[in-house]
Amino acid sequence: MSELKLNSVIAGKKELEEICNKLISKNKNIKKTVSICCGTGCIANNSLEIVNKLQQLLKSRKIDNAEIKILKSGCPGYCEQGPLVKIMPDDILYTKVTPEDAEEIINETIINNKTVERLLFKENGDKTIQKENDIPFYKKQNRILLGLQSKIDYTSLEDYISINGYQAAAKAFSMKPDNIIGEIVDSGLRGRGGAGFPTGRKWEQVKKQDNTPKYIVCNADEGDPGAFMDRAVLEGNPHLIIEGLIIGGYAMGAEKGYVYVRDEYPLAVKNLKKATDAARKVGLLGKNILGSGFNFDIVLYRGAGAFVCGESSALIKSIMGMAGEPKQKIPRNSVKGLWNKPTNINNVETWANVPNIINYGSSWFAEYGNKSSKGTKIFALVGKINNTGLVEVPMGITLREVINDIGGGIPEGKKFKAVQTGGPSGGCLPDEKLDLPIDFDSLDEAGAIMGSGGMIVMDENTCMVDVAKYFTDFNLNESCGKCTSCREGLSRLSEILERIIGGKGKEDDLLLMEELSEYIISTSLCGLGQTAPNPVLSTLRYFKDEYEAHIKEKRCPAKVCKSLISFRINPDKCIGCGKCAKSCPTNAISGEKKHTHVIDPYKCVKCGRCLLECPGKIQAVEKVDTFAEAK
């Protein structure tokens, strides 16, 4: 095996291409590549154990390392079926692999070139599908960014260079900074963090400032609950972000970049650190990068668990070592940002798109998407959906396509109720809005926002008032407290919702909430406050009947709100097995063996354990409307 270690500084474009070619020809010797998803999601399902087992087995069978390559890859997206193991060049995707399966994979697939039918993806429970791209989940996707994940080991610089890595940076150095920015403007790339501001225009503004030094920041403080696409890219392909930052730094004339990453993503921090160290070693970061005379370095800065720090001005304060409280928008960060110097902030996904645009040109990028929004976007499709995971689709695809075709619909044959986009600043859209194209402007119009890409699907068992309360409480907790309207307004909003959920709502509460929301929106300083009432407003707009059922009939249609439901044992169904009584934490259930059991409503804390304990065939425990019952 010819050793090809990257230790010395890469002098220029030519040398980079040489190394790339050498790596490619070296990879031709590899007979099989086994890539195991080692993103946080799959690690939670024991994927590291699979890697260890495979490596041990290879060693004990004395199989040559140069022929079989085992790589830890970033998240390829299909988390529902994880841990995923992909074998190239046969293009076999094994799903839900356990460490015990490792031996069979080695024996059958690696040595005997056979497919293990048992581990393949099964459509509708019987038909097996071997190739990744034939699986319905992947069919409609355009995986420009996520497709790279399973090709490389996530911290290996060699692997990244072998897929033409850092060549966009090399190409950028041969261009004029203005032309690079022109390319970004022409591509129509808009900020992927949520607001959708045209990236090229942002860069132009920083470029034209005379004040130096300038800074660029990668906003990796992905705080939206239910969104993890930035994490996947950070973990799975950190060099892509570094390359994006180098290009941005060169175009805007910044010599220092910050990556502000959430501390809740330990693996992302670790991989980024490894990647920056490796890049620094070969001179891809530091002084005179690739012989261009351009100096650039990246500082990793860990966030400390404040959601508001995803807001640009709060993020800047946090990097400067203060509490992350937002300031007013003017002067903009592009004029006075970090240490009062011009600063450009972009989201992880935005930076990740930059190398591709430089490599393949703006017109290539603009082919994807629709009129107002270009390119592809990664969404985190989660909640009550069959295929949970990350999906990368071209902009302009409809919500229905994503949820039904890619997501595979709602589990257990339940009815779809709403999809929530844009995290705590977004809104909930009902069934009739599902034919909307996903782009910045259409979603905005419908009362939701694109946001960073969280897409949470809710079925008929989800109470929309409860969801509104959840997001309001979230925003209330995360409000920094600077603006009274946000701090106090959200408290009051939460109080009203609490009242409605508790069955004590008044009819004019709905009007009051609308009015209060308007005040919060118009008088808050930063994006958090200005969008915090969106979940309430959008649910009021599309699901008013649910609010009315809570207020007028004292009934929760989805049977979620605890004050309005009670648990009851159906005497016709109960067989008196006693399982529920045994598990009840408050001893509220009584009854003799083989006789009907009864729940004491005064002792019951409505934890729902009896419902889970009751055998699936019997289903004697049921939720009923407390107040309907009383009538």
Partner 1 sequence: MSVTKEKNKNGSVVVVGGGIAGVQLSSDLADSGYYVYLVEKTPSIGGIMSQLDKTFPTNDCSMCILAPKLVGVGRNPNIELLTHSEVKEFAGKPGNFKVKVVKHARSVDPDKCTGCGLCTENCPIQYKIQPKEEALQIPEIEDREEIDKIINSYKDLDSPVVQILLDINEKYKYLPEPVLKYISYKMDIPFSEIYRMVTFYKAFSLEPKGKYHFKVCMGTACHVRGAEAVLESIKHGIKDTKKDLFSVETVNCLGVCASGPVIVVNETYYGNMNSKNTAELVKKLIDKENE
295 near partner 1 (CB under 8 A): no
Q: Which of 612, 618, 624, 628 binds partner 1 (CB under 8 A)?
A: 612
Q: CB 275 → partner 1: shortest distance, Å?
A: 18
Q: CB 81 → partner 1: shortest distance, Å?
A: 9
Residues with Cβ within 8 Å of residue 477, at least 6 apart in sequence: none
Q: CB 170 → partner 1: shortest distance, Å?
A: 28
| Options 30-38, 122-130, 203-211, 462-470: segment touching partner 1 (CB under 8 A) | 462-470
Q: Which two three-digit tokens encode residue 64?
A: 């040559």
Q: CB 112 → partner 1: shortest distance, Å?
A: 32
- Rule CB under 8 A: which of 472-491 touch partner 1? 474, 478, 480
**How far is the CA of 501 from the CAs of 90, 329, 457, 460, 543, in angstroms?**
55, 37, 21, 17, 15
Name which of 188 and 422 has its Cβ closer to partner 1.
422
DSSP reduced 3-state for 619: coil
Name which of 305 and 571 has its Cβ closer to partner 1.
305
Q: Which of 197, 360, 364, 470 binds partner 1 (CB under 8 A)?
A: 470
| Options 37-45, 113-121, 278-286, 623-631: segment touching partner 1 (CB under 8 A) | 37-45
Between CA 170 and CA 19 the distance in angstroms is 13
Q: CB 569 → partner 1: shortest distance, Å?
A: 17
Q: CB 259 → partner 1: shortest distance, Å?
A: 13
Between CA 305 and CA 478 the distance in angstroms is 10
Residues 142, 368 contacting (CB under 8 angstroms): yes
Name which of 281 and 487 has its Cβ closer to partner 1.
487
Q: CB 584 → partner 1: shortest distance, Å?
A: 10
Q: Which of 99, 198, 226, 409 binds partner 1 (CB under 8 A)?
A: 226
539 near partner 1 (CB under 8 A): no
DSSP reduced 3-state for 443: helix
Q: Omega before 601 cis (within 30°)?
A: no
Number of residues written out for the chain? 631
With b for 16 or more beta-carbon neighbours within 10 A and e for fewer, the 511-531 pattern comes to: eebeebbeebbeebbbbbbbb
Residue with tokens 């009819």: 507
**How far is the CA of 605 from the CAs of 463, 565, 568, in angstroms?**
19, 11, 13
| Options 149-157, 287-295, 303-311, 444-452: segment touching partner 1 (CB under 8 A) | 303-311
Number of residues that bind partner 1 (CB under 8 A): 61
600 near partner 1 (CB under 8 A): no
- Rule CB under 8 A: which of 365-394 touch partner 1? 380, 382-384, 388-389
Residue 165, amino acid: G
DSSP reduced 3-state for 493: helix
Phi, psi of 452 (to 5 degrees): -80, -10
227 near partner 1 (CB under 8 A): yes
Residues 553, 569 contacting (CB under 8 angstroms): no
Q: CB 328 → partner 1: shortest distance, Å?
A: 12
Phi, psi of 102 (to 5 degrees): -55, -45
Name which of 200 and 426 has its Cβ closer to partner 1.
426
| Options 152-160, 276-284, 455-463, 594-602: segment touching partner 1 (CB under 8 A) | 455-463
Binding mask 414-433 for partner 1 (x = CB under 8 A): ------x--x----------
Q: Which of 321, 328, 413, 631 binds partner 1 (CB under 8 A)?
A: 321
Between CA 178 and CA 184 the distance in angstroms is 10
CA angle at 257 for the pair 251 and 263, rounded to the nearest 5°: 140
Q: Which of 41, 196, 505, 529 binds partner 1 (CB under 8 A)?
A: 41
Name which of 82 and 375 has its Cβ closer to partner 1.
82
Name which of 104 and 264 has its Cβ closer to partner 1.
264
Binding mask 330-349 for partner 1 (x = CB under 8 A): ---------x----------
Q: CB 165 → partner 1: shortest distance, Å?
A: 25
Between CA 440 and CA 437 the distance in angstroms is 9
Q: Which of 80, 158, 221, 546 binds partner 1 (CB under 8 A)?
A: 80
Q: Which of 111, 323, 511, 512 binds partner 1 (CB under 8 A)?
A: 323
Q: Which of 49, 264, 405, 548 binds partner 1 (CB under 8 A)?
A: 264
| Options 128-136, 146-154, 223-231, 441-449: segment touching partner 1 (CB under 8 A) | 223-231
Closest C-alpha to 469, from 419, 531, 539, 516? 539
Binding mask 81-120 for partner 1 (x = CB under 8 A): -x--------------------------------------
Between CA 512 and CA 504 the distance in angstroms is 15
Written as one string, the DSSP assignment of 98-134 is -GGGHHHIIIIIIIH----GGGBEEETTTEEE-SGGG
Between CA 272 and CA 167 the distance in angstroms is 19
Q: Which of 231, 374, 554, 597 binds partner 1 (CB under 8 A)?
A: 231
Q: CB 211 → partner 1: shortest distance, Å?
A: 16
Q: Which of 238, 437, 454, 529 binds partner 1 (CB under 8 A)?
A: 454
Q: Which two three-digit tokens encode residue 631?
A: 């009538």
With b for 16 or more beta-carbon neighbours within 10 A and e for fewer, the 286-307 pattern comes to: eeebbbbebebbbeebbbeebb
265 near partner 1 (CB under 8 A): yes
Q: Which of 19, 79, 483, 536 binds partner 1 (CB under 8 A)?
A: 79
Please, is 441 exposed, middle or buried when counting C-beta atoms within 10 Å of its C-beta (0-12, 13-18, 19+)? middle
Residues 543, 464 contacting (CB under 8 angstroms): yes
Q: What is the dihedral of CA 69, 72, 73, 75, to 10 degrees?
A: 140
- Rule CB under 8 A: which of 541-570 touch partner 1? none
How many alpha carbons fall within 13 Å on the CB side of residue 260?
33
Applying CB under 8 A, which residues contact partner 1?
Answer: 40-41, 43-45, 79-80, 82, 222-228, 231, 263-265, 299, 301-307, 318-324, 339, 380, 382-384, 388-389, 420, 423, 454, 456, 458, 462, 467, 470-471, 474, 478, 480, 583, 585, 605, 607-609, 612-613
